[in-house]
Chain A
Amino acid sequence: MEKRAKDILNELMDKHYKEAVDAKKNNIPVGWVSSNFPQEFIEAMGLVVLYPENQTAAISAKHESMKFIEEAGKMGYSNDVCGYARVSLAYTKLKESDAQNMPLPDYILCCNNICNQLIKWFENIAKDLDIPMILFDVPYNNDYEVTESRLNYMKEQTKYLVSELEKITGKKFKKENLERVMKISNECGKEWRRAQEFAKAKPCPLSGFEMFNYMALMLCARGRQETVDLIKMLADELENNHKAGKSTFRGEEKHRVLMEGITCWPHLRHNYKTMVKNGINLAGTVYTDTWGRMYDDIDEMLISYGLVLDNLNLERAIKRRTNIVRKAQCDGAVIHMNRSCKIWDGFLYEMERRIHDETGIPTVMYDGDQADERCYSEAQFETRIQGLCEIMEQNKLEGVK
């Protein structure tokens, strides 16, 4: 049987983790990196790195997070600390996971463009394991755009980053390698955007939840040709499905919604089943939309890292959502009040009001967490989704848009 994108996806992810295990065996330093770090520099230097956010998401999705969360509690971490951080910090102690093992780091690279909790999380790992840490500091944007002073600050940091990395890893940085990786990463972003475009088509050629699967690879290997090839394959598959009027979504796509927030991994299955039962497909997800990064030069690349989802001011954050709602023709929005993610939740109430006001679609918010399964109620989710459905149906009857 011919291999499909999802088969290759698993192979590439396995390869990614195996590389790190092999490196560790051969005394090559392995780094841990935050998800939205400017990976171009890392890839250009040929460093072996892993992404703890991928691991914690995998552990959470495979229902293994509670083991680590309980351990984190014993380590003295409050339940109010981010669930990913608790899983990850406990992993550095327990060092054993059925869902996803990975070697401990020899250095750690943090970019706070997604949040400042990440600084503390990584700081604690660095202190616990007594390893060097580099922070790539991306200031929050109170303005709509990234200010010139911010761009300059980031540019100066790239020099510092490269020289520190050379010291830690013994590898040399070459500009031509960076240019090559930038080109590939761009290509990757382009194909991802293409896949996302089809994912937004009406009717969707796939179940929106499937796009979550590819995020792990976009996160850790978007600077590699094999990823470009895979995402292109995915986009082609979606295009073909779209042209043939086929979809992997089970049943009739009665409603199309925007999924706001980080995935509620521990209850993803329940989320999915409840939505399918109600004929709801995810036509737009804010979370997956972030990986279509394209740029022409280093400045634009850095700006794109400055404009990561949770680094946006309110106005720009709302615009991202309303754009998706319009493009993906969403009939409603399902919003995750994710107990872990303060930066995302911080203006979520206002965002909900504005999405509703500006697009007219009904919205519903549910409680959950990206890693801690205890913050979710099946009954609450079902009731709210049902309520949303009833409004969406009524809107259709009345022809409201």
Chain B
Amino acid sequence: MLSIGIDIGSTQTKGVILRDGKDIVKKSLLKVGTGTSSSKKILDTLLKNTDITLDDIDVIVSTGYGRKTFEQAKMQLSELSAHSLGVCNSIENVGTIIDIGGQDVKIMDISNNKLQNFVMNDKCAAGTGRFLDMMARVFELDVSELEGVAKKSKEVVAISSICTVFAESEVISHLSNGCKIEDICSGLHHSVAKRVASLSGRLEIKDNVVMSGGVAKNGDVVKWLEKELNKKIIVPKDCEFMGAIGAAVYGFSKTR
């Protein structure tokens, strides 16, 4: 049985084809989010270069910010439930999931492979993927390059501003004061980790912390977050696909 999970986020669209709710047959990622042509494109991209056609697919489930606008989906699921299912599908005994997405930070409390409770950040963009995108632009870097740069840091520069506009001006003034990019960069990662950790007061972080979402690929953020939470963090191989995988798992379990 084949199920498709589509996760339409604010900045990216992810899709997976899953066989029997377990094995990934194909996965695709488009760098455009909700409100764009991505929802149509993602299915084409997923099926391209495979011998699978849409008729072979038993169920399509959407999740993410744009979940309700995806017409081909038979069901839709909130991204929190989807991330939980996705992570629990690939890792055992999960205690807490932290997902840093484009505009949201979510912390999910998991027991017995089930979502028990969750918290999300407030309106402010600090601590989200978007914050890092904006800061990468200041350095004229791609967001994927931030980790590599930050790893060279020897003397981290503290970034204190909470508002993105002020943080940007703080970064610029550090740059013009001759601070090294790598030190500022690591400081930014630290500030993101601090913002995320501040949510932990609202929901207990248990052992076996798993991080999902694109920002989890940034090892420097993960390192800072481990420090702030004083916990080891597991990053699954397909961390940015957890929502899509969860949606496909859900489709499988409901259709089976």
Contact = CB atoms under 8 A, between A and B. Distances in A.
A–B direct contact (CB < 8 Å): yes
Contacts of A375: 161-163, 166
A163 interface: no
A374 B160 contact: yes
Interface in A357-397: 367, 372-380
Contact of A373 (B160, B163, B198): B160
A76 interface: yes
B198 A380 contact: no
B201 A378 contact: no
A76 B202 contact: yes
A66 B161 contact: no
Contacts of A66: 160
A377 B124 contact: no
B169 A379 contact: yes
Nearest to B161: A374
A94 interface: no
Per DSSP, chain A at the interface is helix
Interface in A281-327: none
A377 B198 contact: no
A73 B201 contact: yes
A78 interface: yes
Interface in B173-205: 173, 194, 198, 200-202
B123 to A, nearest CB: 10
Given A66-B160, A70-B194, A78-B122, A377 B201 contact: no
A73 B198 CA distance: 6
B133 interface: no
Nearest to A72: B201
A376 B160 CA distance: 9
Interface in B194-234: 194, 198, 200-202
A76 B169 contact: no
A74 B195 CA distance: 11
Contacts of A374: 160-163, 166
A50 B200 CA distance: 32
A377 B161 contact: yes
Contacts of A76: 201-202
B166 A377 contact: yes
A380 B161 CA distance: 12
Nearest to A382: B173
B238 interface: no
B170 interface: yes
Interface of B: 122, 124, 160-163, 165-166, 169-170, 172-173, 194, 198, 200-202
27 contacts: A66-B160, A70-B194, A70-B198, A73-B198, A74-B200, A76-B202, A78-B122, A79-B124, A372-B162, A373-B160, A374-B160, A374-B161, A374-B162, A375-B161, A376-B161, A377-B161, A377-B165, A377-B169, A377-B170, A378-B170, A378-B173, A379-B169, A379-B170, A379-B172, A379-B173, A380-B166, A380-B169
